[in-house]
Amino acid sequence: MRCYAGNPNRGGVAAASYKPLSSVWDGEDNELIEKMLNFYPKRPPRRILDATVNRGRFWIGSDRWVIGLDINGHHRPTVIGNNMKMPFRDGAFDVVVYDPPHIPNQGRDRLKDFTTRFGLGERSPKENGYNFSHFYGPFAAEAYRVLKQDGILLCKITDYVHHHRMQWAHIQVILAASSVGFQPCDYIVKIRKGPIIDPRWKKAHHARRRHCFWLVFRKSNKCE
């Protein structure tokens, strides 16, 4: 199997002393993930699963040992598989990372190729409310199963507007994770350099989304 980085015996570098973590982040995801991995787990994580690895961009510059799971073999993940039915034993991981295609029917931004970069090509039909919330429950149940006790789930998610209605994706993820036993513990607001802009949008009745959320859950009945 191909792992994305590092040495399984290293397990990350434990912080020498307490370093506070801001609830607002305007840097890159790979830098933020490293900070979260040093901040939230009770022990340095040895086994990390990226359940939506795509091209592995979260692990650029990382020397951590990461298993990358993706249903699309084109990205050459460590394991080809469905994150709603994971091919891993119970309690196999210390951390699971999840970045689903949460903006299925967005317009095209001529300045950014979100479809290629973030794997947002799939569309959601009217029957599913133009969103992917029906994926969150099955994934959350599997993430809970493959995490060790006190393990951490990190979810990147974005709310968006479709058909003139706000799609509250981050709330749907919280409800799905809570329903299977996760404790919602924290969140970080990640700022984009600019909002998604479609040339067809002549007038918007909602604020332009310039942020997303990193949600933090623990497989426990408490956060600390």
Q: Where are the domains of the chain?
A: 24-218
Q: What is the pLDDT of residue 73?
A: 85
Helix count and strand count (H, E) for the chain: 4, 10
pTM of the model: 0.81
Query: CA-to-CA distance for 120 and 116, rounded, in angstroms?
Result: 7
Q: What is the pLDDT of residue 3?
A: 64
The pLDDT value given to residue 12: 47
Task: Quote the pLDDT of residue 113.
Answer: 47
In degrees and rounded to multiples of 5, residue 51 shows phi and psi of -80, -5
Query: Distance between CA 36 and CA 212 in Å, rounded?
Result: 16
Residues of the chain with pLDDT under 50: 1-2, 7-15, 105, 107, 109-115, 118-121
Largest separation between any pair of C-alpha atoms in the chain: 54
Q: Alpha helix locations (H) across 102-132?
A: 114-118
pLDDT, residue 118, reads 47
Total residue count of the chain as it appears in this document: 224
**pLDDT score of 134:** 78
CATH class of 24-218: alpha beta
In this structure, what is the dihedral angle of CA atoms 102, 139, 70, 122, given to the nearest 10 degrees? -30
